[in-house]
Amino acid sequence: MNRSSIRKYVGLVVLCLLLAGGAFVRSEAYREWLDQQRKARVAAALKSSGLRFEDITMAAGLQFRYAAPKLSEVLVPEDLHVIGAGLAVADVNGDGLMDFYVVTAAHEGSNQLYLNQGNATFKEAAATWGIQDLNRTVEEVSANPTVPPKNISFASLFPLFMDVNLDGKPDLLVAGLGGIKLFENRGSHFEVSSQVGAFLDAKNAQSLVPLDYNKDGFQDLYVVRYFADRDLFTTLDENTWVNSTYNATNGGTNTLYKNNGDGPFTDVTAQVGGGDRHWGFDAAAGDFTGNGALQILISNDFGPDVLFELQEGKFVDVSRRLGAPDRRLGMGVSFGYLDETARPFIHVSNAYHPGYRHEGNFLWHADSSGNFADEALPRGSNYCLWAWGSVFADFDLDGWQDLYVANGFISGTERKEFVPDIYVDTQAGKGDASFKMGTLEALPGAVLSRGSVFADMFSGEAAVGRLSFAGYQRDCLFLSHDGSFANVATQAGLDDYSDGRAVASIDIDNNGSLDLLVSTRNEGVKLFRNTLEPGMHWIGFQLTDKRGNALPSGVAVRIAQDGQELHRNATAGKSGFLAMSDARLVFGLRGSTKVDAEIRWPSGTVQRLTALQPGKYHVVIEP
């Protein structure tokens, strides 16, 4: 064999190996192999940390149940597109313990406020505090006698605690179908805010994001909207659904409200920017590039995710930094820190289901030039089935934040799928999910926007409620170790199959080990206690800005201990789909020596603290 033949032979062998290797890398077997490698690396860390959760829902006295709203009969069944239940954590009564509020969307359903009793139990007190019955239809009488009275309905979706009047007490905003409601905290009860007349938002609202875009010390508000501005309770217009599954532009327009400091909020979207109509589910705001600029990342359900950056006082669309527009069903957004840089990793929950929805989650990370790359696959957080809420928190207190993701769309009374797996049975009339999904996505907007088309497409199989639609899916706990994730939910005692929605971290006993609250569509709200005994290997910060706001956003905190640097960015507690977490910042520590901290406030003030004692929360007030 001559030299030329040998080169051709070797080249052919190399080509075959490359093709085979490429096929293997794209295969399910390769993903399983990667997952096994990650689990092996994390197993030792999980065992040594002692991290384990226990379900104390019943023992803690939690009895909340979510229910869907009663919408107009011409709309798509509400279970398919109105998603609950939202929850928010804060110290409502000022006793130093974290309480939480959880909402239902049911007509005349009761929202619930759980006050922390200090012994791992909670007392329900929404009625006493005046925030139980928000979902009632009320008659609005116009000042003009020629205008007939109008019935106004409301369905709660997402609560947010925010010190609107800067009196040191968390006030309450509730976003939902029918607008936004604002209640002022009087110390022993809430009252309908006297500022509602000035801040009257009667448009459908999905999520609320606190931010200080103009750095004046007053918390502004970014409102994410899913549905357009119409009365979903009484409308007879069937054309209320999306006009495209890839790039819908008929959703509600997101709104930026400026806090004027004297009470009222002003809609400044037209002047400052931030408007988007892609059926948004959630958003997060922060300095994602580490260059000091504020960004807002919006997770859109039917349409590409959108990234705005504040440039010279205006929000500019810089979505091109995310690469090509995505076509995934975006749910929630949260961000956390997995390395020693000041640039966070941004998790976006997306739908994933074997057989017909091969998408997976995003994990965006910016480089030094401000462009983003998706690191979900190499870091191991991409596949978590039909994902919704998520939260970053250092559950094992090793310094790196972990990630909990809630899963599951609709679990019926039967485990059989409403939209069956394409590989199970593709015979005519038996429900080829791929064909049906493709047909829906190819319909013109004028047809697709009639929501009944969606229900008609699957009406021959069974009604949702008896059968499941991506149901009975286990939540994920991605433990961070050596820069990658491994799903250790089962090993850590989080073997939960309910239809999870909002996820929030909460330290119920102020010991530094972060516990979990998970709201569900079908099994109420669940509380998982972190049994880790942290000792002195942690430090926490409760921040208060110079105006007295104890729930500030945009505060960058860097700590140093024994040569290690860690970063966090305050979000005023906002932490993913329909959720507000314990707003305090918690760092896990390698050792128990004293800690130095640098705190950068949105006003520009830089505060340096030295020799801080670990094993406790430090109250830090902006000079």
Do residues 468 and 417 make contact, with C-beta atoms less than 8 angstroms apart?
yes
Do residues 156 and 134 make contact, with C-beta atoms less than 8 angstroms apart?
yes
Predicted pLDDT of residue 482: 78
Q: Which of 46, 115, 120, 47 is nearest to 528 (CA)?
A: 120
For the four alpha carbons of 128, 548, 297 and 503, in that order, the dihedral sign comes to: negative
Predicted pLDDT of residue 242: 86
Least confident of 290-304, 414-428, 597-611: 414-428
**Average pLDDT rounded to a whole number, residues 319-339:** 92
Least confident of 24-38, 267-281, 292-306, 507-521: 24-38
Q: Which of 188, 213, 317, 228 is nearest to 265 (CA)?
A: 213
Predicted pLDDT of residue 244: 84
Predicted pLDDT of residue 466: 72
The rounded distance, in Å, linking the Cα atoms of 404 and 292 is 28
Q: What is the pLDDT of residues 184-196, one digit of tens each?
A: 999 999 998 876 6
Distance of CA 593 to the CA centre of its chain: 34
Concatenate the DSSP letters of all residues of 106-123 into one string. STTPPPEEEEE-SSS-EE
**Average pLDDT rounded to a whole number, residues 520-527:** 92
The rounded distance, in Å, linking the Cα atoms of 463 and 335 is 37
pLDDT at 258 over 90: yes
| Percent of the chain with pLDDT strictly greater than 70 | 83
375: CB partners within 8 A, 6+ apart: 345, 363, 364, 365
How high is the mean pLDDT of the chain?
A: 86
**Average pLDDT rounded to a whole number, residues 45-64:** 88
pLDDT at 146 over 80: no
| Percent of the chain with pLDDT strictly greater than 90 | 60
Predicted pLDDT of residue 510: 97
The rounded distance, in Å, linking the Cα atoms of 552 and 543 is 7
Tokens standing for 549? 């706001």
The rounded distance, in Å, linking the Cα atoms of 602 and 209 is 16
* Of 466 and 359, more confident: 359
Predicted pLDDT of residue 15: 64
Do residues 521 and 410 make contact, with C-beta atoms less than 8 angstroms apart?
yes
Do residues 297 and 284 make contact, with C-beta atoms less than 8 angstroms apart?
yes
pLDDT at 110 over 80: yes
Predicted pLDDT of residue 73: 80
**Average pLDDT rounded to a whole number, residues 353-382:** 89
Concatenate the DSSP letters of all residues of 491-517 into one string. TTT----S-EEEEEEE-TTSSS--EEE
* Of 412 and 310, more confident: 310
Q: What is the 3-state secondary structure (H, E, C) of 179-241?
A: EEEEEEECCCCEEECCCCCCCCCCCCCCEEEEECCCCCCCCEEEEECCCCCCCCCCCCCCECC
H runs (alpha helix) in 361-472:
376-379, 433-442, 445-448, 452-457
Q: Is the pTM of this model over 0.85?
A: yes
Predicted pLDDT of residue 297: 98
Backbone angles phi, psi at 348, to 5 degrees: -120, 120
pLDDT at 33 over 80: no
Predicted pLDDT of residue 460: 45
Predicted pLDDT of residue 38: 62
Predicted pLDDT of residue 195: 66
Predicted pLDDT of residue 255: 97
CA angle 289, 617, 158 (to 5 degrees): 60
Do residues 573 and 89 make contact, with C-beta atoms less than 8 angstroms apart?
yes
pLDDT at 239 over 90: no
- 228: preceding bond cis by omega (within 30 degrees): no
Quickly state the pLDDT bin for 455 (edges 50, 70, 90): low
Quickly state the pLDDT bin for 517 (edges 50, 70, 90): very high
* Of 127 and 264, more confident: 127
pLDDT at 459 over 60: no
Tokens standing for 319? 């979505």
Backbone angles phi, psi at 527, to 5 degrees: -120, 120
- Using DSSP, state whether 29 is helix, strand or coil: helix
pLDDT at 475 over 80: yes
**Average pLDDT rounded to a whole number, residues 103-118:** 95
Q: What is the pLDDT of residues 557-591, one digit of tens each?
A: 999 999 899 999 999 999 999 999 999 999 999 88
The rounded distance, in Å, linking the Cα atoms of 495 and 476 is 9
Least confident of 57-66, 68-77, 452-461: 452-461
**Average pLDDT rounded to a whole number, residues 70-99:** 83
Quickly state the pLDDT bin for 13 (edges 50, 70, 90): low
Predicted pLDDT of residue 1: 57
pLDDT at 145 over 80: no
pLDDT at 98 over 90: yes
pLDDT at 223 over 80: yes
**Average pLDDT rounded to a whole number, residues 105-119:** 95
